[in-house]
Amino acid sequence: MTTFQRIVLASRPHGEVKPDNFRLETVAVPALQEGQVLVRNHFLSLDPYMRGRMEDAKSYAAPQAIDAVMIGGTAGEVVESRNPHFAAGDKVVGMQGWAEMGVAEGSMLRKVDTAHVPLSAYLGAVGMPGMTAWYGLTQIMLPKPGETIVVSAASGAVGSVVGQLAKLRGCRAVGIAGGADKCAYVVDELGFDACIDYKAGKLVDDLAAATPDGVDALFENVGGPVFDAALARMNPFGRIALCGLISGYNGEPMALNNVRQLLTMRLTLRGFIVSEHMELWPQGLTELGGLVATGKLKFRESVAQGLAAAPEAFIGLLKGKNFGKQLVKM
């Protein structure tokens, strides 16, 4: 193969992301320098954080550059190596972006074992989303057996792991998701104690009924009315891991009406970016990998076929159309 396809950011979105914000290109496969590895990407991870990177705004990371390959996690196979730590055929995970192939320095790749864990899972339950769930739960929410935890976007790649890990630690797990089918999956397949369908129009009442003893810890992915409803149920000295605010990712202002709860309930609210805590990744990934390998941690994937399908799949992700982890299979 002498060429491959990639998708670059063609323009910054104003409001909702549109397909013409991206451009599909065909480029030549570059020659390797000493220490580099050429990887054929099999899977691309699509994640909500990418929407923020598309903005030219101050944030925790530099904006995505125009005319450069869109950022993204990838899982694939080494096809050529000039690095002694990697050989052709090795399965690897990296950040090669929206591209069928990529060249990486060896330090930017992680070799993975696919004997008991599928390659795609290293972009989900045993990857960044799983680590996000693990970190928020174990380092911020600090769950104790018998406590009630609430997770928004509970059927997604991150939320689904939070609830299952909480159940393994003896907690009552209550999810919030959009649609009866997602809620059924969260309870029947993932083992949550309850799941509230926010699209049913009774979010406040349904959440109160599902949390009769209040909420001790919250994993927040959504923001807006969903966050407000959960804040109203928090117990004294509750802990909140603020992971995402997907309801406002298209730039709309986001109001919170129950901020007073932070004071009256003496709550701890902490935002976090999991890539800033790499020292804990070996511990978290060891636990997650073991649970997936033994069938104790379940996950679901939505898989778009072909790189060209990535923009529409990403737009769908921002609107909640995915079910579980959103991937693109190259």
Distance of CA 146 to the CA centre of its chain: 27
Q: Find residue 149's DSSP bridge partners.
A: 173, 217
Q: What is the DSSP string of 17-74?
A: --GGGEEEEEEEPPPPPTTEEEEEEEEEE--THHHHHTS-S-SSSPPPPTTSBPP--E
The C-alpha atoms of residue 318 and residue 181 are separated, in whole angstroms, by 18
| Closest to 222 in 3D by CA, of 201, 241, 235, 202 | 241
Helix, strand, coil abundance in the chain, percent, nearest 5: 30, 25, 40
What is the share, in percent, of the chain residues with pLDDT greater than 90?
90
Tokens 């072909």 map to which residue? 306
- Three-state DSSP class for residue 146: coil
Polymer length of the chain: 330
Map residue 326 onto helix, strand or coil.
strand
pLDDT band at 57, cuts 50/70/90? confident
Dihedral sign for Cα atoms in the order 112, 116, 119, 121: negative
Q: Taking the C-alpha atoms of 312, 315, 316 and 319 in order, what is their torsion angle to the nearest 10 degrees?
A: -160
Task: Quote the pLDDT of residue 251.
Answer: 67
Q: Read off the amino acid at residue 319.
A: K
C-beta of residue 324 within 8 angstroms of C-beta of residue 299: yes
Q: Report the relative pairing of strands 3-9 and 22-28 from DSSP bridges.
A: antiparallel
Extents of the domains making up the chain: 3-124+300-329, 128-275
Q: Is pLDDT of 164 > 70?
A: yes
pLDDT at 44: 98
pTM here is 0.92
Which CATH superfamily includes the segment(s) 128-275?
A: NAD(P)-binding Rossmann-like Domain (3.40.50.720)
> Do residues 297 and 1 make contact, with C-beta atoms less than 8 angstroms apart?
no
How many angstroms separate the first and last alpha carbons of the chain?
15
Give the type of residue at 165.
L
Spatial distance between the Cα atoms of 316 and 156, rounded to a whole number of angstroms? 13
Q: What are phi and psi of 249, to 5 degrees?
A: -75, -10
Q: What is the rounded average pLDDT of the residues 81-104?
A: 97
Distance CA 79, CA 149 (A): 44
Least confident of 84-88, 194-198, 318-322: 318-322
pLDDT tens for 207-222 read 999 999 999 999 999 9
63: pLDDT strictly greater than 70:
yes
Alpha helices, H only, the chain: 49-53, 128-135, 159-168, 180-188, 203-210, 224-231, 260-264, 281-293, 310-318
Tens of pLDDT, residues 232-273:
999 999 999 999 998 877 667 788 899 999 999 999 999 999
- CATH topology classification for 3-124+300-329: Quinone Oxidoreductase; Chain A, domain 1 (3.90.180)
Above pLDDT 70, what percent of the chain? 99
CA distance 178 to 196: 8
Listed residue (199, 200, 269) closest to 234, CA to CA = 269
Q: Cα 34 vs. chain centroid, distance in angstroms? A: 33
Sign of CA dihedral 317, 321, 327, 330: negative
